[in-house]
Amino acid sequence: MHMPASKGCGACALGKITRKRAVRRKDQPAVAFNFAVSVDLVDPTEVGVDGTRWMFVHRDVGTGWIEVRALSDKRAESALVALKESQRGKGWPRLVKSDGGGEFEGAFEDTLRNNLVAHERGVARRANTHAGQERVHRDLNATLRVLLLQSGLPTTWFAFAGSYWAVARNLTWTGRASDKTPFEKRYGREWVGTIPPFGCGVSIYSEFAEKYEPNGICAVVVGIKVPETERNDTSVLNVLAVPVGDLRPAAARWVAEWKSLPDHWPVRRLGLRAADETPALVLSPERGDPHEFTGVMNDAPVARVGSPGDGRTWKRAWSEEECAAVRDGFERLGPKWARIKKESGDILVSRSSKDVRSKAQALGLLGPEAQGLAEHRRGKSGAARRERVRTASTDLHSMVREALVTEVIDAEEAMQSRPGRLAFEKELKALRKMGALPLEKAMEKADADRVPGSQFVKLKAIFAIKNAELGIDARRHKCRLVAQGCVVKNANGRLVVDPFAWEKPPGLVAVRAAISAAILEHGDEADGGFLDVDNAYVHAKLGGPPTFVELGGLLPLLNGCVLPGEFRKLEKMCRPVVRLPFALYGMPRSGSDFGAFARKQLLGLGWREVTSDKNLYVRRRGKYLMWAVLYVDDGGVFGHRLGVRAAVDELKNVFRVSKQVEYVNEASKKSPVRFLGVGIYRDAESHAWVLDSWEYAKHVVADIEGTKKRATPLVHRPEPDKEGSSCGAESRKKLGQLLWLVRTTRPDLAFAVGTVARCTDRWSQEAEKCLTDILRYIRDTADVHLEYAMPRVKGLEPIIICYSDADLSEERSTTGICAYMCAGGADHIVDWSSSRQRRTATSTAESELIALHTAVQHRAFPLATFVEESRGKWPRMHMKVDNETALGAVEKGWSEKMLHLPKMQKISLRWLHEVAADGLAVYEHVKSRDNLADGFTKILPADAFNKQKAGWHLVMNPKFVDVSRSSADTAQGGARKQ
């Protein structure tokens, strides 16, 4: 077993192919053994040969010691038994970390509490809150594929492979930031013995041999463990062996005496796995990174990897002959992919019709008549979509030219097309012009190794087609040269971590708050200027140790893009590298280095950073109060129209800006300003500012068929199917698109999308139907947008009004929040959310208190801080709640009806009381029918839901005409303009 993957190992090449790394966080300070442990469950998606269904992964945070145990079900009682077995002989830890799954509630949590063990819960299936455990799961899944593949055992033996992996990892794995194994950290000595491979053949003593029969029988290793001795100094492992002639879990037994056999993999001869699953796959020598596999097979079929039915295959690159056959066939036959494949003879025999179609699009052969990629993959008819795309490309091309949908394409395919090559040359020229990639200073890696503290990273070209769904006229190729910053190594080839202060961009709430503040302050004279910084990161010098990029993977692309003499110089080098003088995309610290650089420049221009959010600035210049947000390379300035233009001119002097700056007062619905995917313009009649995402909404629902209309996005709440599996890739993609719509301009979708998204990993037909209902609702209300009205009196002090509500549930209740900035008769919704509570409530009043605490701390206070630092005075803050019991408890700071509250909840209640006592907020009762957070916690009838939408200032444009539906259909549904 190789950890990490070995370049020359076929099993590693097949089993450890990955798509995405788990999110990495800064290393945590070291803790003692058994002080803190992290636990989670892994779903193998099938029943094991021993009847188990789940794997319980137990990891000691201090030493990295891991134990894996198989479970037959996912109940809290089963998880508790596995935890007790893992803690046997160690005692209880001080802290147990887990995600928010139900298997770690109930009896599991009660037992921890009774034994005075703290329980820290992250968010289920979200890697950035449980990152260490998620990375372990990634390694576990990849290695199990390898172990089962090399042994020849079926995938149902996953429980044995998981237990073997845990012990082998404890004995051999050192990790990124340490030179000691978990075994050495725990026992203080290094393991020096042999570790038999999983599935290898061994000879063991036969207990049932007759007098003249051999005493030894052939068996295979399916488990290992360190024998328990008084001194624990043995170097021989006990093995769990199962006879080859009796491959049953019940026949497996632990043996202390064993001997390896010449036949290393006896089970392979039994043919228990599919014939095409063979470790004959090798790595391409040009891309020999063990963390990025590209399968290359010579005269052999491509192997299918992973669990049965996963559908992942690895195919060779397209040859010039194949590309020519696709071009010629398309010119003669048009988009008839099966005929093109058939008439090409043996040239395209290894390609499917779908492959031919995808290649034709990558070569730029398809026009507006092309069928959508999503529908092509799902096998749906594309006639309706082609008609919509054709109409959009001709009649409304100016309105949908920036849908901001990007399709990543292969670098080799992109460089074969002229637009792709031009995009690469443009990116290379821009970086070299700014001195970010000085190829003329290239040197051998051996020379760079001698630089103190030097570290190395690979350079990669990423190609994409923007607006790929809109046809050939709107398609635009883009290339970005990025560093593979997830794998940074020192001169000795070891992975290194460069610590730095992480910098975050401003949230969408900060952007909306700045827009609202500018409108309330300056009224009709308010304006917003938006600029796009060229190659933003390379403005800043790269901090940390000297970093070099390796040019080996980029060398084939440079031929013809640099001077011939320069290319020959690079080609003669063994391993050419170039030192990075400036921050480059892909490096972990590049965003932080640019953020620090931008902050220094803006502070020098008299801006002050607001503490409510990073990269949000305020400045008063004369009588003009202005705000600025900087989201990496996208910047926005809001305030008085004269002050905005002066401020933009100043920013253009400190940042490289080649694109034309866009202003809201010059924009319209047909030609809006684009900022973070949201269209912004002023309504010609009401002069209100409009935040619109209708183009993206139309793209999301482009393949939805049927004429059934929806007045609300959800009519019943789906429940996760305990026996169900994860949803398909297409449904997961739709949910991701809908979540983006929710956070930008569509609060009416928040509760519905959040409810369906909770069923992602326990999908059911009910959840699929609810997802379809949401998409149909969006189809009928695609042009719903947010309006920020003009105040009747400008320049008044803004008031913060925040509504909170909760819907009690047996498991965890739902919190709904919406926050407004109000002044001069205008109120603007700037923040909203619908989420499950992190605590379990036992009464309606308790769930309302949890929701109120979240609203005050995470929604109202940041907005009030923003207003205070803008105007120098804490604003009036009104919290609207529809539960009188909760308000009474907050007023007194305690409640005799809620003496059962846990300690942290009592602290929250007291804090809410002190906030009111200090005059920072006023808690007010509001009737349930007037609570604008009601729509974020429950399903409402159509009339009540439309009232909520009016309160959120969601408006449907009556002049909108849906290009895919008749005007009569489009005029119905949605909110009326208030």
Task: Encode pLDDT of 502-532 as tens digits.
Answer: 788 888 999 999 999 999 999 999 999 999 9
In this prediction, residues 119-133 reach a mean pLDDT of: 68
pLDDT beyond 60 at 300: no
- What's the longest Cα–Cα distance across the chain? 106
What length is written for the chain? 978
Q: What average pLDDT does this structure show over 603-607? A: 92
531/320: higher pLDDT: 531
Question: Residues 863-871: what's their mean pLDDT?
Answer: 93
Residue 692 φ/ψ region, left for φ over 0, alpha for ψ in the -120 to 50 degree band, beta for the rest: beta
133 domain residue, yes or no? yes
Q: What is the pLDDT of residues 231-274, one digit of tens each?
A: 445 567 889 999 888 888 888 888 888 888 876 788 887 777 76
553, pLDDT greater than 50: yes
pLDDT of residue 386 exceeding 70, the answer is no
Q: What's the pTM? A: 0.60
Nearest to 547, CA basis, from 475, 498, 604? 498
Q: Is the pLDDT of residue 651 over 60?
A: yes
The distance from CA 537 to its chain's CA centroid, rounded to whole angstroms, is 22
Whose tokens are 């992480």? That residue is: 502
**Lowest mean per-residue pLDDT among 54-68, 77-91, 818-832, 898-912:** 898-912
Q: Which of 273, 208, 202, 194 is nearest to 242 (CA)?
A: 202
What is the pLDDT, as a whole number, of residue 4? 61
Q: Residues 621-640: pLDDT tens digits?
A: 888 899 999 988 889 999 99
Res. 369: pLDDT tops 50: no
pLDDT of res. 2: 66
Domain that holds residue 843: 796-958
Strands 295-296 and 443-444: unpaired
Nearest residue to 253 via CA among 268, 242, 264: 242
> 740, 657, 704: which is closest to 406 by C-alpha?
740
Lowest average pLDDT, out of 80-89, 447-456, 578-587, 892-901, goes to 892-901
The model's confidence at residue 963, banded by pLDDT at 50, 70 and 90, is very low
Flag whether pLDDT at 854 surpasses 80: yes
DSSP annotation of 659 reads S
What's the whole-number mean pLDDT along residues 192-216? 76
The residue out of 241, 269, 297 marking a domain boundary is: 269
Can you tell me the mean pLDDT for 718-737? 86
Q: Is residue 972 part of a domain?
A: no
Task: Summarize pLDDT for 446-491 with one digit per residue, the tens.
Answer: 999 999 999 999 998 998 887 655 556 667 888 989 998 888 998 8
Report how far residue 41's alpha carbon sits from residue 522's, in angstroms, rounded to the nearest whole number.
Answer: 55
Q: What is the pLDDT of residue 969?
A: 39
pLDDT (0 to 100) of residue 649: 92
569 and 442 Cβ atoms separated by less than 8 Å = yes
Question: What is the C-alpha separation between 853 and 860, in angstroms, rounded?
Answer: 10
Is 435 within the bounds of a domain?
A: no
Q: 725: pLDDT confidence band, cut at 50, 70 and 90?
A: confident
Which tokens sit at 907? Answer: 């602290």
13 pLDDT tier (thresholds 50, 70, 90): low
Give the span between the Cα atoms of 120 and 96, in whole angstroms: 6
Q: Alpha-carbon distance 662 to 532, whole Å?
A: 9
Domain assignment present for 563: no
- Whether 169 is covered by a domain: the verdict is yes
Q: Any alpha helices (H) in 724-764, and if so which ranges?
A: 729-744, 750-757
Q: What percent of the chain has pLDDT over 90?
A: 36
Which residues sit opposite 531 in a β-bridge? 635
Instruction: Specify the residue for token string 């001080």.
Output: 94
Tell me what pLDDT residue 381 has. Answer: 41
Domain membership flag for residue 419: no
- Mean pLDDT rounded to a whole number for the chain: 81
> Residue 821 and residue 802: Cα distance in Å, rounded?
9
Tell me the pLDDT band of 681, cut-offs 50, 70 and 90: very high
- Give the distance from CA 310 to its chain's centroid: 21
Three-state secondary structure call for residue 351:
coil
Residues 6+ apart with CB under 8 A from 897: 845, 885, 889
Name the pLDDT band for 833 (thresholds 50, 70, 90). Answer: very high
For 194, half-sphere exposure in the C-beta direction (CA atoms, 13 angstrom radius) is 7
Count of CB atoms situated within 10 Å of the CB of 355: 17
- Does residue 305 have a pLDDT over 60? no
CATH of residue 916's domain is 3.30.420
Q: pLDDT (tens digit, 9 = 90+) per residue, 884-904?
A: 999 999 998 877 777 777 788
Quick check: 972 pLDDT over 80?
no
Cα separation of 802 and 510, whole Å?
A: 16
Tell me how many domains the chain contains. 2
Greater confidence, 223 or 380? 223
- Split at pLDDT 50, 70, 90, the class of 278 is very low
Report the C-alpha gap between 618 and 513 in whole angstroms: 12
More confident position, 579 or 405:
579
CATH number assigned to the domain comprising residue 241? 3.30.420.10
Q: Which of 480, 462, 466, 368 is nearest to 413 (CA)?
A: 462
The 10s digit of each residue's pLDDT in 755-797 is: 999 998 889 889 999 999 999 999 988 889 999 999 999 989 9
The single-letter DSSP state of residue 295 is E
> Per-residue pLDDT tens for 926-936?
999 999 999 99
Count of alpha carbons within 13 Å of 898, Cβ hemisphere only?
Answer: 30
Give residue 48's identity as a one-letter amino acid code. Answer: G
Q: How far is CA 2 from CA 9, 169, 262, in A?
A: 8, 10, 21
Region 25-43: mean pLDDT is 77
| 240 neighbors 251 (Cβ within 8 angstroms) | no
Whether 964 is in a domain gets the answer no
pLDDT of 607 > 80? The answer is yes
Q: Where are the beta strands (DSSP E) in 43-108?
A: 54-60, 66-71, 95-98
The answer as to whether 868 is a domain residue is yes
- Asked if residue 221 lies in contact with residue 202, where contact means CB atoms within 8 angstroms, the answer is yes
Amino acid 79: pLDDT: 92
Average pLDDT over residues 21-32: 54
Specify whether the CB–CB gap between 369 and 391 falls below 8 A. Answer: no
Q: What angle do CA 215, 216, 221 make, to 5 degrees?
A: 150
Report the Cα–Cα distance between both ends of the chain, in Å, rounded: 66
Cα–Cα dist 601/593, whole Å: 13
Contacts of residue 280, defined as CB under 8 A and 6 or more positions apart, other chains included, come to 10, 297, 300, 303
Last residue in a domain, options 238, 269, 300? 269
897 φ/ψ angles, rounded to the nearest 5 degrees: -80, -10
